[in-house]
Chain A
């Protein structure tokens, strides 16, 4: 099985290396940029507010980066199989769930690079900046949260990408149906908020996408 994994990992690296390299550079740079110019030791309370604002605005890039990495890595994992109509994969001598697991794991192993880059970039950022009194740095927590967000995004998009065009069509049809129902409900003045309900279910804890919501702060009180 280790030979198979190595072979799958190699192909996946070849297909997605540009995504991994760009994602790793971005993941390394964002924490450093977020505290750029931060904080000499003599800064007072007002400067602490400036720093928090800067960290918060840069922080919105972490979930975006995690989502983009998950999306593009998942697409890269399946694109060649889709092009070959899955015939090569389906005629390999292993159970299909094992093949899917190999592809999934290989993608996540490659995503370890940007996750490590966040950890390293965050740690370097807090080491090179002098934080105003009262503020604390959370590089490990940020790295763990980013890893979790990348995992969730990759898993969701991997599952969607693995499906056929018909599956994607069904998903789009369900979303379109929800929009239509919402539009008709609004026109009929019905008290129905499907998207609010969906947002609550998905984004608020313990929703599956809650990790993306809220503030992503490298430095906080």
Chain B
């Protein structure tokens, strides 16, 4: 499988306050790729680097097979983008914004745009500045979908929206992917939302990538283990130890990543026993990943 977005050893710095360092990211073509991270972790900056809005100090960004930012015009013709904040001119109407956008995209799908105007119940004569937050989000999604790109880059597109609007937007995205086989790169800190739609997920914090894996692997590989009889040193385990706490005299509680049932034998080989294996949902796994990462990095 080729990558819709391929980032190698990307380095970017904003003053002395924040930097993205040695970022490697591989977004498989045709995937819905969730980009998770707390506020200020570098998600939006990474997206801006992907779209050529910022220039990296070093490293390589390839989008849809072309280098960014060298081929930005060619790439952007195939990329739909929804930024975190509404960026469109508030004095233009919905219809005017659709017409403006249509003029710039050779693959613009007028029928799809009309269908989405009706589906999202948007009034074509309404000024963008007068739309509600949900309507603005819907219009921006509409503009991204109607240009028929091979890649959609969505920066927290449903942040602050009510559940009905969120569901409408996510449903439109999933329909689009199933019809066109496009790739969606969607950043969010709403873990449950991504859990429902994404098949790949990456987690970022403080400008560093903590993990990148298929959603199923992350969800099913992150467990809380209740272990008893554990020696102090456990060597180099075949799973990722995210946290290790003693559990009120009843052994220890571990949160592990990349877990597989066969790894129980490794723990038993240490003279310990696994008393319980508890499934964690993505949000718990996300929190544990962040805790573990921040415990390891002094600046986090």
Interface residues in chain A, defined as those with a beta carbon under 8 Å from any beta carbon in chain B: 3-4, 6-7, 10-11, 14-15, 80, 83-85, 87-88, 90-95
Tally of B interface residues using CB under 8 Å: 25
A186 to B74, CA, bound (A): 57
B5 CB to nearest A CB, Å: 15
Interface set, chain B 115-174, CB cutoff 8 A to A: none
Cβ contact of B73, chosen from A83, A85, A87, A95, cutoff 8 A: A95
Pair B104/A7 contact, Cβ less than 8 Å? yes
Cβ contact of B88, chosen from A15, A84, A90, A95, cutoff 8 A: A84
In the complex, whether B100 has a CB less than 8 A from a CB of chain A is: yes
Pair A93/B91 contact, Cβ less than 8 Å? no
23 contacts between A and B (CB under 8 A): A3-B103, A10-B99, A11-B100, A14-B91, A14-B92, A14-B96, A15-B91, A80-B91, A83-B90, A84-B89, A88-B87, A88-B88, A90-B51, A90-B53, A91-B76, A91-B81, A92-B76, A92-B104, A93-B74, A93-B75, A93-B76, A93-B78, A93-B105
A7 to B101, CA, bound (A): 8
User: What residues of chain B lie closer than 8 Å to A7, measured between beta carbons?
Assistant: 99-100, 102-104
Interface centre among A4, A92, A94 (most CB of B within 10 A): A92
* Nearest neighbor of B84 in chain A, beta-carbon distance: A87
Q: Interface code B68-87, partner A: CB below 8 Å = 1, 0 otherwise? A: 00000111111101010001
**A11-B89 contact in complex given A3-B103, A90-B53, A93-B77, C-beta closer than 8 Å:** yes
A185 CB to nearest B CB, Å: 37
B185 CB to nearest A CB, Å: 14
A10 to B104, CA, bound (A): 14
User: What residues of chain B lie closer than 8 Å to A90, measured between beta carbons?
Assistant: 51-53
A111 to B99, CA, bound (A): 24
A6 CB to nearest B CB, Å: 7
Cβ contact of B53, chosen from A4, A15, A87, A95, cutoff 8 A: A87
A93 to B66, CA, bound (A): 14
User: What residues of chain B lie closer than 8 Å to A92, measured between beta carbons?
Assistant: 76, 104
Pair A91/B53 contact, Cβ less than 8 Å? yes
Q: Which 5 pairs from chain A and chain B are nearest by CB?
A: A7-B103, A93-B77, A93-B76, A3-B103, A80-B89
User: What residues of chain A lie closer than 8 Å to B104, measured between beta carbons?
Assistant: 3-4, 7, 92-94
Interface centre among B53, B77, B79, B104 (most CB of A within 10 A): B104
Given contacts A4-B103, A14-B92, 19 further A-B contacts (CB under 8 A): A3-B102, A3-B104, A6-B103, A7-B99, A10-B99, A10-B100, A83-B90, A84-B88, A84-B89, A85-B87, A87-B53, A87-B83, A87-B87, A90-B52, A90-B53, A91-B53, A91-B83, A93-B74, A94-B73
A107 to B99, CA, bound (A): 19
User: What residues of chain B lie closer than 8 Å to A83, measured between beta carbons?
Assistant: 89-90
* Nearest neighbor of A92 in chain B, beta-carbon distance: B104
**A84-B76 contact in complex given A4-B104, A6-B103, C-beta closer than 8 Å:** no
A175 to B180, CA, bound (A): 56
A11 to B98, CA, bound (A): 12
A14 CB to nearest B CB, Å: 7
User: What residues of chain B lie closer than 8 Å to A93, measured between beta carbons?
Assistant: 73-78, 104-105
User: What residues of chain A lie closer than 8 Å to B87, measured between beta carbons?
Assistant: 84-85, 87-88
User: What residues of chain B lie closer than 8 Å to A10, measured between beta carbons?
Assistant: 96, 99-100
A87 to B92, CA, bound (A): 16
